[in-house]
Amino acid sequence: MNSPQNTVLLVRDIVTRFGTHAVHRGISFSVQRGSLVGMIGASGTGKSVLLREIIGLHRPSSGQVELLGCEMWDETGSPTHAARLAAVRRRFGMMFQDGALFSSLTVAQNVAVALREHTSLDDALIDELVQLRLHQAGLPAEAAHKLPSELSGGMRKRAAIARAIALEPELLFMDEPTSGLDPITARGFDRLVRSLVDDLGLTVFLVTHDLDTLIGATDRVIALAEGRVLADGRVQDLMRSQDPWLSQYFLGRTPPAAQTKGEPSYGS
């Protein structure tokens, strides 16, 4: 049910310009708690830029982003806003496209970074939480002591998820989470992300080009085109759209049957 109480992300009239070039021309949408939302768009539509604006890394030219009740770009620079921003950043996790793990730290040390920086927990409890996060991310216990360079691509992405959920966030952002993975590994990753929503109650917002992720894992898809939201709805509805870009994007794919929440389809 869409309601202000259930809304964890509200994007209103975002405009982004680089010089005279407008990337976003008034983007608006909301994300509800406990959902898995995918964002798609052609190259150059500013998907990753928008993601950075949402989490407070890039200031839009105009518009508002309200994340977990915090206005991300209001009164930027004031001490009060800085404190609120620091607090809200502890309530969401971010998985960047390449994982962005610290190469000189083991997997366990990577996951522990946020716990050591933002909590006063003792070492023993941090170690227990690290093992829990690795388990939730589907990694074997022995992966904890390996460096990122010693892991496969799929395991590195799972390690990145473990780090992103270290502080038990309410909301998880992901940028192209299955890029570079083989189809079998990618579908296993989809199942993991879906379980974070269904079993742990996280809200997930991801940018992806992976059609199988969109079809098999998402509750809803937002499509960007020409600086605006072209479509926003269930993937099966977007796949039936007569819009030329969407028709080409989903060319040859059959819309899935409507799913009951909690019973996602992982077929292709």
Per-residue pLDDT reduced to its tens digit, 155-196: 999 999 999 999 999 999 999 999 989 999 999 999 999 999
pLDDT at position 170 = 96
User: Is residue 50 pLDDT above 90, yes or no?
Assistant: yes
Percent of the chain at pLDDT exceeding 70 = 91
pLDDT at position 2 = 60
pLDDT at position 41 = 94
More confident residue, 80 or 210: 210
Confidence band, pLDDT 50/70/90 cuts, at residue 75: low
Domain coordinates of the chain in residue numbers? Answer: 33-56+94-250
Confidence band, pLDDT 50/70/90 cuts, at residue 268: very low
Distance in angstroms (rounded) separating the CA atoms of residues 154 and 135: 15
What average pLDDT does the structure give for the chain?
90
Per-residue pLDDT reduced to its tens digit, 101-145: 899 999 999 999 999 998 999 999 999 999 999 999 999 999 999
Confidence band, pLDDT 50/70/90 cuts, at residue 100: confident
pLDDT at position 254 = 79
pLDDT at position 263 = 40
Highest mean pLDDT among 27-36, 69-78, 146-155: 27-36
Q: Tell me, which fold does domain 33-56+94-250 have in CATH?
A: Rossmann fold (3.40.50)
pLDDT at position 77 = 64
